[in-house]
């Protein structure tokens, strides 16, 4: 997917198209007032106040039709510089534009004219509205003015624009592909999770099928960690404000946290991350250098108050569960432990067939004195140490300034999904800062107290986001070991008692073998039950008739296929057991 914001030619074109859309909306809704219309990664949008009118799918079609007229007229687009007083007069009565003008300096205000429409804008724009003709409006939603829930709800319309119809057509195909891969759609079809405003935006609930996947992921990563010497703990979802003042999160991360709760003279907050709790677990007793490394892991519930506009199903919510761990090491152990973390990351990626990713060394921006803990010597030591480890491991990486955590540099592994822009899945952070803040120590071999170094690492990231990623990569066609329902049994004749008895026998047998199996003997037609099993993306669908009962065999279909394969009961159990135990990505076809 193209990033419209970063590509200059598309950025200018799409910003111009936002003005074309605003002009068309003004033709159809003379009372319309506009807030902002920026270019974002996925295209452009404009926030509009239509008074009592509401934008619908039908009105989107009407807006597109009017936009085509505007483009066909081919009006020249002119830039003008005006004074602040002229701008206030030009947009008198428009509280949204006046609010923007209020913050502008006199003498630096520009407007753009195109035919009968003038808009406040710094530009740049294309020369002619005709250049914006290859567009498509893709979605619309309601948003609070300035993102404040106390303000009026405006209507936001999104669109995309390309220089050629071929590029637009290709992008629309990608958008359709993205819809099919959207984990929110897949989650609804497969009955995996739900959200409800009565519970709260950004607070998803996992339904039985979805929680099955969640548990499988939890068991999977915990088993790997246990084999590597991790000790798992459970810590509370809240902490005192003083805990986060000690860690530094209160100063550097407070705006992303839920408000403090005052109880019995103490202030508590929902935790945004788990490192302060794990620091206190380490501090619970004295440690010798012989104890290190100590690896503390947790599947931890965290809460961050993400802006409503950024919420996206289970990929980005206000509650999520991190596959978190903190490794307490001596300086001499840094290289070996980072190497083991990297090995674990790539071992997991191999299991899930994740191949499109890149490694990033995320560094601080020394000029940003607000975001980062101020200690130049600490930062130089930490960044040099992590850079050296990555080079010694022969890991190819790029460096990005300003992407570090506030307490230390990190290795980010960014995945490139099948549709959409890349994002960080796994991370390993090197921290000299928090151990000192919490006064953590160990007794070295010389008998002196030393401060350990901490590695913060997340392999799956959050289980929620990882599940969203896997659902979108596979379109919900999960490997057998991860599928919420592995086998669905469909008797051909659901009124045949002998056939139903055989279907129940097979269900019990597969259940005893440890498989997640369902028997669908409802009075619906076989074609209906087959279609429902396909929508739920059950990997193996058993279609049992009298032939299978008489021969004591099983006939199965793989999800998405029409071909039916008949095998013995024992062969089927052996096949599925092998596929589950070896966590195969795809079933092995019969010879």
- Peptide bond just before 124 cis, omega within 30 deg: yes
Q: Where are the alpha helices (DSSP H) in 352-462?
A: 376-392, 434-437
Decide if 322 is catalytic.
yes
The per-residue pLDDT for 383 is 85
The per-residue pLDDT for 588 is 61
The per-residue pLDDT for 587 is 72
- In what side-by-side order are the strands of the sheet with 487-491? 517-519, 487-491, 540-544, 553-558, 565-568
The per-residue pLDDT for 591 is 45
Decide if 231 is catalytic.
no
Q: Where are the alpha helices (DSSP H) in 74-182?
A: 84-90, 95-102, 165-181
Query: SS3 of 117, please?
Result: strand
Question: Which one is catalytic: 47, 119, 324, 412?
Answer: 324
Decide if 410 is catalytic.
yes
Question: Which one is catalytic: 17, 71, 161, 275?
Answer: 275
Residue 484 neighbours by CB under 8 Å, 6+ apart: 190, 192, 208, 209, 210, 212, 213, 478, 516
The CA distance from 78 to 101, in Å, is 20
* pLDDT, one tens digit for every residue, the chain (591 residues): 788 888 888 999 999 999 999 999 999 999 999 999 999 988 999 999 999 888 988 899 999 999 999 999 999 999 999 999 999 999 998 999 999 998 888 877 999 999 999 999 988 999 999 999 999 999 998 888 988 878 899 999 999 999 999 999 999 998 888 889 999 999 999 999 999 999 999 999 999 999 999 999 999 999 999 999 999 999 999 999 999 999 988 988 888 899 999 999 999 999 999 999 999 999 999 999 999 999 999 999 999 998 877 889 999 999 999 999 999 999 889 889 999 999 999 999 999 999 989 998 888 888 776 777 777 777 888 888 888 888 888 888 888 888 887 778 888 899 988 877 788 899 998 888 899 999 999 999 999 999 999 999 999 999 999 999 999 999 999 999 999 999 999 999 877 899 999 999 999 999 999 999 999 999 889 999 999 999 999 999 999 999 999 999 999 999 988 899 999 999 999 999 999 998 888 776 654
Question: Which one is catalytic: 304, 373, 457, 549?
Answer: 304
Answer yes or no: are the C-beta atoms of 404 and 362 closer than 8 Å: yes
Smallest CA-to-CA distance from 411 within 359, 446, 448 is with: 359
| 571-577 contacts at long range (C-beta below 8 A, 24 or more positions apart) | 573/509, 573/510, 573/513, 576/480, 576/486, 576/487, 576/510, 576/513, 576/515, 576/540, 577/513, 577/514
The CA distance from 484 to 487, in Å, is 9
Question: Which one is catalytic: 326, 340, 364, 537?
Answer: 326
Question: Which one is catalytic: 318, 456, 529, 549?
Answer: 456
Checking phi first, is residue 120 left (phi over 0); if not, alpha (psi -120 to 50) or beta?
Answer: beta
Q: What are the structure tokens assigned to 126, written together?
A: 């294309």
CA angle 6-184-4, nearest 5°? 10
Decide if 373 is catalytic.
no
Q: What is the set of domains in the chain, with CATH numbers?
A: 8-181 (3.30.980.10), 193-474 (3.30.930.10), 487-581 (3.40.50.800)
Answer yes or no: are the C-beta atoms of 422 and 361 closer than 8 Å: no
| 159-to-63, 255, 555 alpha-carbon distances in Å | 11, 31, 48
Decide if 319 is catalytic.
no
Question: Which one is catalytic: 23, 114, 322, 333?
Answer: 322
Smallest CA-to-CA distance from 244 within 285, 284, 283, 277 is with: 277
Q: Give the global pTM.
A: 0.81
Question: Which one is catalytic: 410, 465, 488, 575?
Answer: 410
């Amino acid at each position: 997917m193209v990033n419209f914001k970063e590509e200059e030619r598309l950025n200018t074109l799409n910003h111009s198209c936002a003005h074309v859309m605003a002009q068309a909306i003004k033709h159809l809704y003379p009372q319309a007032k506009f807030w902002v219309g920026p270019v974002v990664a996925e295209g452009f949008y404009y926030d509009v106040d239509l008074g009592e009118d509401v934008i619908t799918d039908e009105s989107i079609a009407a807006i597109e039709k009017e936009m085509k007229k505007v483009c066909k007229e081919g009006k020249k687009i002119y830039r003008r510089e005006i004074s602040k007083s002229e701008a206030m007069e030009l947009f008198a009565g428009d509280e949204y534009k006046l609010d923007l003008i209020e913050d502008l300096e006199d003498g630096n205000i520009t407007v753009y004219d195109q035919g009968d429409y003038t808009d406040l804008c710094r530009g740049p724009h294309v020369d002619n509205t005709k250049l914006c003709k290859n567009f498509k409006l893709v979605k619309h939603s309601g948003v609070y003015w300035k993102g404040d829930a106390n303000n009026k709800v405006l209507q936001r319309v999104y669109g995309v624009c390309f220089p050629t119809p071929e590029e637009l057509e290709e992008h629309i195909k990608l958008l359709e592909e993205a819809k099919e891969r959207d984990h929110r759609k897949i989650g609804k079809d497969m009955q995996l999770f739900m959200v409800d405003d009565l519970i709260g935006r950004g607070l998803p609930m996992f339904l039985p099928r979805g929680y099955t996947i969640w548990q499988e992921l939890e068991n999977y990563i915990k088993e790997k960690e246990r084999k590597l010497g991790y000790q798992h703990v459970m810590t509370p979802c809240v902490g005192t404000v003083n805990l986060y003042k000690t860690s530094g999160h209160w100063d550097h991360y407070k705006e992303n946290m839920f408000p403090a709760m005052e109880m019995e003279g103490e202030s508590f907050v929902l935790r945004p991350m788990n490192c302060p709790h794990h620091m206190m677990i380490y501090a619970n007793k004295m440690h010798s250098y012989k104890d290190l490394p100590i690896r503390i892991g947790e599947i931890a519930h965290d809460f961050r108050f993400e802006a409503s506009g950024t919420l996206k199903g289970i990929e980005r919510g206000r509650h999520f569960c991190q596959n978190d761990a903190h490794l307490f090491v001596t300086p001499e152990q840094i290289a070996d432990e980072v190497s083991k973390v990297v090995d674990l990351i790539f071992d997991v990626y191999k299991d899930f067939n994740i191949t499109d990713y890149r490694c990033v060394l995320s560094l601080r921006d020394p000029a940003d004195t607000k975001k980062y803990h101020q200690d130049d010597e600490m930062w130089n030591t930490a960044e040099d140490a992590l850079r050296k480890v990555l080079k010694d491991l022969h890991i190819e990486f790029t460096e990005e300034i300003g992407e570090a955590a506030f307490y230390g540099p990190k290795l980010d592994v960014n995945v490139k999904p099948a549709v959409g822009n890349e994002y960080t899945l796994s991370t390993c952070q090197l921290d000299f800062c928090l151990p000192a803040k919490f006064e953590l120590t160990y007794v070295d071999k010389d008998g002196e107290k030393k401060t350990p170094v901490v590695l913060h690492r997340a392999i799956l990231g959050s289980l929620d986001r990882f599940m969203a990623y896997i659902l979108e990569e596979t379109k919900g066609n999960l490997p057998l070991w991860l599928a919420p329902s592995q086998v669905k049994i469909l008797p051909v004749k659901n009124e045949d008692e002998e056939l139903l008895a055989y279907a129940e026998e097979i269900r019990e047998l597969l259940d005893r073998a440890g498989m997640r199996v369902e028997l669908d003997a409802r009075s619906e037609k076989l074609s209906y039950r087959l279609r429902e099993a396909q929508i739920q993306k059950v990997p193996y669908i058993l279609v049992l008739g009298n032939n299978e009962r008489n021969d004591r065999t099983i006939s199965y279909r793989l999800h998405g296929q029409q071909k039916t394969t008949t095998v013995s009961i024992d062969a089927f159990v052996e096949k599925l057991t092998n596929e589950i135990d070896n966590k195969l990505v795809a079933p092995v076809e019969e010879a």
